[in-house]
Amino acid sequence: MVRIATLVGSLREGSINRKLAHATAALADDLMEMTFVDIGALPHYNEDLWRDPPEAVLKMKQQVKDADGVLFVTPEYNRNVPGVLCNALDWGSRPVGESSWQGKPAAVLSASPGAIGGAVAAQHMRARAVALGMHVLSHPEVYLSVPEGFFTGDGVIAPEGARDFLRGWAEGFAAFTGKLAELP
């Protein structure tokens, strides 16, 4: 079982991407232990704050350090990654030489009610993760168009084909993370 730090780029409790993250965690609970990292508690990035680092920053960095891999679940805001997720990336990459992201296996999920399902944000997130030295799962890409009724009232993904697809993705990400963890 691999340990995955999960960062959701939407702070809204009922967001599609938050639901997707939790539904994926349930589908893969025998493969991955997913820890949800609270990025909403992070202050806006400010280099001056490293003199006395905020507890929320230290906690996030430790959760990422303790994880075998990282999952980013991002909505698409204005054809890009939400600011709250970018802020978490900035905090995790500092101080210089102490990046939490370096060498971590990573993957990106994105969902939207729109036709392209957050594909543009997912691509931006992958590029950011690579720039931070992460090893990003390249296939299959997951950006889902989520119509009304996609999730049941208790948060389960309703379409069987979508559940099967995400289960297969989770198996691949767990294997990818496990293989990278074995490398020296």
Domain boundaries, the chain: 2-182
Contact, 64 vs 5, CB < 8 A?
A: yes
Phi, psi of 126, deg, nearest 5: -60, -45
Rounded Cα gap, residues 129 and 67, in angstroms: 16
Structure tokens at 36: 């949800």
The topology under which CATH files domain 2-182 is Rossmann fold (3.40.50)
Contact, 4 vs 64, CB < 8 A?
A: no
Contact, 8 vs 73, CB < 8 A?
A: yes
> pLDDT truncated to tens, each residue of the chain (184 aa)?
999 999 999 999 899 999 999 999 999 999 999 999 999 999 999 999 999 999 999 999 999 999 999 999 999 999 999 999 999 999 999 999 999 999 999 999 999 998 888 999 999 999 999 999 999 999 999 999 999 999 999 999 999 999 999 999 999 999 999 998 777 6
Q: Is the pTM here over 0.75, yes or no? A: yes
